[in-house]
Structure 1
Amino acid sequence: MKFEEITLSPNIMSGLQDINYTELTELQEKVIPAVLEGNDALIKAEPGSSKIGSFVIPALEQIDKREDKDGTSLLVLTPNPEESQEIDELVWAMGYHAQIECASIDMDTDLEEQKEAIQSEVEVIVGNPGPLLDVCQDLKFIFRHVEMVVIDAADEMVALNLQDKIQNILKRVLSDHQTLIYSKEVNDDVKELTKKYTKDPIAIGFEDKPGMLTEPPKVDQNLTQGYIYVPNRMKITTLMAHLENTPQDNCIIFTASKRGTDRLYRTLRKNDMKATSLHGKLSDEKRSQRFANFTNGDVQYLLVADTPAAELDLDRVTQVINYDVPNDPDEYRYRANLVGSGTASRIVSLVSKQDRSDINELENSLGQAPKELPLPDKVKQKLEERKKQKKKKSRGGKRDNRSKRGSNNGRGKKKNDDLQLPRPSYDKLSGGKKGDAPKDQKSGVIGLIKKLFS
């Protein structure tokens, strides 16, 4: 796409021509239209002029259209001086014909120049959080006309523990404004930063993570939530017994790994149950086909691994089973949201010994704790059979031990007696139990030498 294809003012177009900007990059094609529409956004981007242009171009366009250019309109926060100065230079070049002024407030710039730029309220301020906050606090300065805030390299900001400085700077921005956050990657701290400073943001470049910026849905109060404590080494047995008790359900079963889905798939097929599986290693074509088989009703059970529930576009499921309990309460909420509302619908978790801490965390987080469900009768019967077998084995073992003891009391004892060696006489040992050697006889090595030579 060429810049002529998007609506930009003649002044900004002239600035782009001066620096040989003719075509939008892939990132700019995604970002600039969204920014011009006024969206807050979290944007995935690597450092470089393409990223800088994606927010500078629409911001300068907004500034050039303003009738009153008094006051700072664009505030950019970036973690290092080099990036701040690069943004400053690009703003100056692109905004030259629009007479847009910019200043960089960073660790390498003269302090008096920084104060003068802040007080004169140039249209664009770019700064490192530490120096910018120091200058603003020293001048007791407030931003009253900002229309756009850009938090650049949010992941680096978080790594440098700059969240408090960012917060204190943004407290000084009193005007309503659009917020753009750029990051190479997203972690919990970046998500928190985005939720705190944006309104209904869109994600650009992170589309592979559905639900990343939205609050997880609340669990329906009418939904039946339960869990079954699974006896040791009886998880598949418990699952199959539970499925037999709920034969009509259209069911999704979540496991922790592809290996788990493969194992369950073989078990279900062996019992003539129609099932299919989704996991991270499937091609898009196979994934779509298997998903369609489930949504069309061709199969009754969908086994899922390595796929967040937020990615599953379903609304006709009567039961969700956590074969492995999720350790993230939000993931549990998204799974519960797949189930149709009503008391006939349910989400059930199979809780083994190692899952108990996870189910306890869920209970604390959800507010509405799942209820413990009774163990299926079939599992109880197998447990009883297992106990009986153990008792038989233990009795058989005792008899074997008794017979072994009896054999030791008979012939075995004679043989041992016959094989016993004669005990040595202490009389012949120097310094033995029956007294010392005669006085004229030396003991030890010296006595032995004398005997040899006598």
Structure 2
Amino acid sequence: MLFKELNLIEPILNALQTEGYTQPTPIQEQAIPSILQNRDLLGCAQTGTGKTAAFAIPMLQLLSKPHTNTKIHKVIKALVLTPTRELAIQIEESFKAYGKNLPIRHLVIFGGVGQKAQTDALHRGVDILVATPGRLLDLMNQGFINLRDIEIFVLDEADRMLDMGFIHDVKKVIAKLPAKRQTLFFSATMPKEIQGLADTILTNPVKVEVTPVSSTAEKIRQEIFYVEKGDKKGLLMHILQDKTIETALVFARTKHGADRIVKDLIKVGVKAEAIHGNKSQNARQRALTNFKAKTTRILVATDIAARGIDVDELSHVINYELPNIPETYVHRIGRTGRAGLSGTALSFCDAEEKEFLDDIEKLIGLKLPVTEDHPFAMSWQSLLSGAAAAKTKGKTKPSRGQRSERTSRPEKKEHEPNLSGAKKTPGGSGNRRWWKK
């Protein structure tokens, strides 16, 4: 199917053509017609499926129709609520790209920066508001925002809202919305509390489900490297000797760990930057911009900060440290292999992380291949004995609710992304050899 077969208006089709998108992803193909019919929608989709465009494109079309509202001042007609600043920014960029030929105003608001520029824009009038929960409630309490005229409400990444402690804020926002509205609800997973919330706010929804979270993208090549903790730095340097790896997203479990990896890379002449909760919003945006422009080769991120990272044609994700929550592994490697492109996910596993790896393989239903052809290979026997010793010493894995990166205010916990549309031709460097003997 092509986008032009989805009954989209000419201004949007022209914008999509400019962006180079001709074919919708499965979730876009399923969701767009239902949303255009003003149906509520429950979308079960993980990152990399194209869900942002799945709701942004039909919203723009619906809001481009003549309205009966004759108020002199423009009112907010649509609200997109999302858990992190990075994700909010990228969603607003999608509205800008797809709506470039439409007279629709959009604005993104989030915490961590001054509010004056945001309140000035609100005063000038906004059709579509993209917001994180904390700043939205703050500006509502100050009287800058009123949600009584909302026609379309989007709750994005609902499960991450729950993980990050935003669920009560979300419910406060929902309480201020008009009862008569169209609601679009997206979540990668459906835990009991999220299912209950969906049942409460959706009316006879169309359900769209694409790639359950337990499955990893078929076009992502995954490899495991057994390595001593102290040898991880050397292994990373060894892998990055391969110049075909133009850019790579490296995951660390903590902010301190991310900074340490960046310092080690810079010492050997590899251009690297870190993105995590202790960085200012400007520093994080600058690092992300440099990475997208490929002036920075390596971006090192914590899980929470990485949730909004969406980079076209990213070929490699490297798990310097395995996550203690198996679903996080799926979200991490979903940064690559997007829009039908191939990608490679390389994961380092030391003895203390063996239990994390077991949980990941159980979740995805796949035994990950182990690469032993590298200078820092750790034997299977050493791995098992080390894992047993770690258990004996009481180094058990953190609970599923425990996160490595914490900040004082919930809003400053960052988190994922998403894909804006499908490229015309699949490609990428995922099938290249990524180490040298």
Q: In which range does the TM-score fall when normalised by the shorter chain?
A: 0.3 to 0.5
TM-score, normalised on structure 2? Answer: 0.45
Q: Which has the higher contact order (CA 8 A, sep 6+)?
A: 2
The answer to which structure has the higher helix fraction is 1
